[in-house]
Amino acid sequence: MLTLFRRRLGKLKDRLERRVATLGSEGRPHSEQAPISAEDREFMLGWVMGTSDDAALVARASVSPTGLGLIERACAARPGNPRVWATRAEICFAAGDIHDAADFAERAHAIGPLDPGTGLLAVRMLVAASRGAEALKIMPAAIENSRRQLAHATRLELCRLWGQLEPQSIEPLLDAARTHVAAGDLQTATAEFEALGAQFGPRADVLLLLAAVYQDLVRPVDAARASLEATQADPGNVDALCMAGCCARDVRDLATADRMLSRALELDPKSSFAQYYLGLLRLDQDRIDEAAQLVLGARAAVRGEPWPAQGIAEKLAVPVKRNIADVDWATARFKLVHDIEQFQFLQSAGRAGPALDPVIAEYTAALRDRGLPENPSSMVALPPGTYPMLSRTYKYPVHAPDREPPQGPLLNPGLDWPSLEGAFLEGKPGLVVVDDLLSAEALQALRTFCLESTVWNELKGGYLGAYMPDGFSGRLLLRLSSELRSRMPRVLSDHPLQTMWGYKYDPSYGGMGLHVDVAAVNVNLWITPDEANLDAATGGLVIYTHDAPVDRGFQRFNTGGKEVYAFLESVGAKKVKIPYRANRAVVFDSSLFHESDSFRFKPGYENRRVNVTMLYGA
> What is 104-121 written as a DSSP string?
HHHHHHHHSTT-HHHHHH
| Residues contacting 76, CB < 8 A, separation 6+ | 23, 24, 25
- What sign results for the dihedral spanned by CA atoms 489, 491, 495, 499? negative
Q: In whole angstroms, how far apart are CA 413 and each of 60, 439, 482, 484?
A: 74, 8, 15, 11
User: Residue ranges of the chain with pLDDT lower than 50?
Assistant: 1-31
SS3 526: strand
Q: What is the pLDDT of residue 377?
A: 83
Dihedral angle, C-alpha 468, 471, 473, 474, nearest 10 °: 160
Nearest to 229 by CA among 415, 214, 216, 385: 214
Q: What is the CA radius of gyration of the chain?
A: 29
Q: What share of the chain is helix, strand, coil (3-state, %, to 5)?
A: 55, 10, 35
Q: What is the pLDDT of residue 555?
A: 55
Domain ranges of the chain: 309-393, 417-616
Q: What is the pLDDT of residue 25?
A: 44
Q: How far apart are CA 274 and CA 276, in angstroms?
A: 6
CA atoms within 13 A on the CB side of 223: 24
136 with 119: CB under 8 angstroms?
no
Q: In residues, how long is the chain?
A: 618
Q: What is the pLDDT of residue 137?
A: 96
Q: What is the pLDDT of residue 26?
A: 46
Q: What is the pLDDT of residue 562?
A: 77
Q: What residue ranges in 129-237 does DSSP mark as E strands? A: none
**Chain-centre distance of CA 95, in angstroms?**
42
Q: In whole angstroms, how far apart are CA 290 and each of 297, 413, 559?
A: 10, 26, 37
Q: In whole angstroms, how far apart are CA 342 and each of 189, 300, 443?
A: 43, 21, 19
Q: What residue ranges in 358-494 does DSSP mark as E strands? A: 431-435, 458-459, 463-467
Q: How far apart are CA 190 and CA 217, in angstroms?
A: 10
Name 380's bridge partners: 331
Q: Has domain 417-616 been given CATH number 2.60.120.620? A: yes
| Residues contacting 609, CB < 8 A, separation 6+ | 504, 505, 507, 511, 526, 528, 532, 533, 539, 580, 599, 601
Q: What is the pLDDT of residue 428?
A: 87
Q: What is the pLDDT of residue 551?
A: 53
